[in-house]
Structure 1
Amino acid sequence: MSTATKPKHIGRNISRIRELKGMKQEALAVAIGVSQQSVSNIEASETIDEEKLTEVAKALGVTVEAIKNFSEENVINYFNNIYDNDFSHSNGGIQANHCAFNPLDKMMEIVDENRKLYERLVQAEKEKVELLEKLLKGK
């Protein structure tokens, strides 16, 4: 029985990461400056030269190591960890974020501030009109 491990299929990893990011082959092709057919060929290749792999990684917004070490299990673990860290499983409920202030109170403060600004603007316009009337009467 052989203990040699099968090398990872880099092209397939690129394809899965691209799909998980919701990116089409055409978009990746534009990002790395090749044709869609070239992206298809890259994704069909078991190995890719480091320079091209670096370009693809940059276009996908991941590291070269992320592409090389990609596995479905890691993705599942990643999302499970996000879920575990973001939500509380105590009492079977979800822990909600609580505001340190009442949003309605803040909104009413803004409305009141806008009203005061409007009143000042109206008062300034009245003063301008009075000044103009005085100037016209003086002629």
Structure 2
Amino acid sequence: MSVVFQDERKIKQGEVIAKLRRMQGIKQEALGKMCPSNFSQQKISEIESQIVIEEPTLEELAIALGVTVEFIKNFNDDNAIYNIQHNHDFKDHAVAHQNHQPIFNETSKLTSLLEKLVKDDTVKTQAILDLTKVVADLAEEVKKLRDN
């Protein structure tokens, strides 16, 4: 005989909406604009604080977030990550948001800039030395002319 245990925890739908929105890198204002009702940022904030969200509103938010209403009602973190990574669909002109931050090898850039600075510094130092020699030569010439 097998026993099936039901998850007794109460799922707070507003928190689920907030978590899904953050996981996708969407701001409250952008999520509101993605919904047909064009919710304000304040309205999304209010919705995210609710335990149970009205069904029509929940449907709009689910579509905007690329998940089903059932997914929100039965939310768990593992399902959320899988669904977002594998099943997110951008049909019907839904907004695709990607937090694109490419990684560059900054060490080579810094090294080349440092080499350029050292080269420029060397050139300027040499120019100062040359000018110092010219000034010394001119001072010697002036001294000779005064002595004569």
| Alignment TM-score, normalising by the size of structure 2 | 0.47
| Alignment TM-score, normalising by the size of structure 1 | 0.50
- Structure number, greater radius of gyration: 2
User: Hey, which of these two has a bigger chunk of helix by percent?
Assistant: 1
